[in-house]
Amino acid sequence: RGDITGMQTKGNSRLIHAKVPLAEQFGYVTVLRTLSSGRATSSMEFSHYQEVPGQIAVKVLESVQGRVDLL
């Protein structure tokens, strides 16, 4: 899940702009740095809230059902 919104080349570097759900970002930096032998960097900033697709909403609700620490 995510959309690439732009790409640029600056010297030997590639800059990729994308909109990606926060849930998909967990572990991304580790994979990116592993694939780039530690040379790549990543940054993110909040863009907007968006409704969660139905199947993902069901999974989220199932994962928190019965958890009293969320009350």
| Residue whose token pair is 């759900």 | 21
Domain boundaries, the chain: 3-70
Distance set, CA 48 to CA 12, 19, 45, 69, 70 (Å): 31, 10, 10, 27, 23
3-70 to CATH, choices 2.40.10.120, 3.30.70.240, 1.10.260.40, 3.40.50.12280: 3.30.70.240
pTM above 0.75? no
DSSP class per residue in 50-68: -PPPHHHHHHHHHHHTT-G
User: What confidence tens digit (pLDDT) does each residue in 11-69 have?
Assistant: 999 999 999 998 888 899 999 999 999 999 999 999 999 998 898 989 888 888 877 77
